[in-house]
Amino acid sequence: MHSRLFQLLALGPVLVACHGCGPQRVSAPVADRQVAEAIRAGLVVAPTSATAAGEAASTGTGWASLKGRFVFAGTPGQPKPLVVDKDTEVCGKTSKIFDQSLRVDASSKGLADVVVFVRKASRVKNPVPETPLVFDQKNCEFLAPVFVARLGQPVEVRNSDPVGHNTNIDGTSFNQLIPAGQTTTYTPNSEMGAPKTVTCNIHPWMKAYVMFRKDGYIAVSAADGSFSIPDLPAGEPLEFQVWHARSTGPSGGLGLERPDLKWNPKGRFVITLQADEVKDLGTLDVPGSAIGT
């Protein structure tokens, strides 16, 4: 009788011991105190000599262009129809709304919406254009699945629908309500290191990407997969980053098999252009495995 009772009692501590104290969080690494103190010693003293670090050396004088065409070697499959459950009297009324994150041209196999940009350039040829770009939405879809602009260039955010949209650009101050049929102007003022999402919280299926760059050395591949970036500084090594929304690479970087360009898995390659050169990378084959579901 007593032994039963004690056996039951014994269960208590066993249960507590098994369950542990508090929620199960994975173990996180901790700091190495001695190393931290050594680093700190280097942080609190003022720098002894002004080391001229930094900007890419400006060596060349001329200008050059880069172009190429992305071709998808995999099977794109049918685009998924999106769930449209708001404002259905307007949204998806004229045509069904599909997932636009992978657009492959049926005949040429060209891969659209690949972003190519220069990570750092020492010189810029053209002043910031003053003509506004239009970022439009209609049928409760963003008309440009990937949109790029240069800092300081005005962007007219337009709503061509008879219902209100709020256009919410991640990583910026812009989340503004745009009433039916109206336009508001946004001037991008901070540079992005990678494309960011644009969403409409009223219509949650709406999603596009934007990227704003200070130097404007950025291009998005067209429906046939082609892109070109003009007026690049010649005579200096330029590191290009290539990105696609559905890429399986780190941070959306699109890694290709191009040993001649040393194209790495992060989707980057370095190239030095000669003055007045129009460098054509030719057909850039994107294998099916580079694009995720």
List residues binding other proteins (CB under 8 A): 1-3, 6-7, 9-10, 12-14, 16-17, 20-26, 28-33, 35-40, 42-45, 47, 51, 53, 86, 163-164, 166-168, 172-179, 182, 184-187, 189, 193, 201-202, 204, 250-251, 255, 265-266, 292-293
Residue 272 in tokens = 């030095």
Smallest separation (angstroms) from other proteins to the CB of 183: 9
Residue type, 45: V
Identify which of residues 39 and 223 has a Cβ nearer to other proteins in the complex.
Answer: 39
Q: How far is the CB of 137 from other proteins (least distance, A)?
A: 14
Cβ at position 207, least distance to other proteins in Å: 11
Structure token digits, residue 256? 């290709």
Nearer to other proteins, 29 or 127 (CB): 29
Closer by beta carbon to other proteins, 16 or else 275: 16
* Token pair in block for residue 242: 């290539």
Distance CA 132, CA 147 (A): 13
Which residue, 265 or 282, is less far from other proteins as judged by CB?
265
Question: Cβ closer to other proteins: 237 or 265?
Answer: 265
Shortest spacing between CB 197 and other proteins, in angstroms: 9
Do 267 and 253 contact (CB within 8 A), yes or no? yes
| DSSP secondary structure, 89-124, as one string | TTTTSSS--B--S--B-TTT-BB---EEEES--S--
User: Across-strand partners of 186?
Assistant: 155
What does each C-alpha distance from 102 to 51, 77, 99, 146, 177 come to in angstroms?
46, 9, 8, 11, 28
The rounded radius of gyration (Å) of the Cα atoms in the chain is 26
Least distance (Å) between residue 34 CB and other proteins? 9
Q: Which one, 239 or 285, has the nearer CB to other proteins? A: 239
- Measured CA to CA in angstroms, residue 43 lies from 47, 54, 210 at distances of 9, 19, 37
Quote the least distance from Cβ 189 to other proteins, whole Å: 7
Q: Are 111 and 283 in contact (CB under 8 A)?
A: no
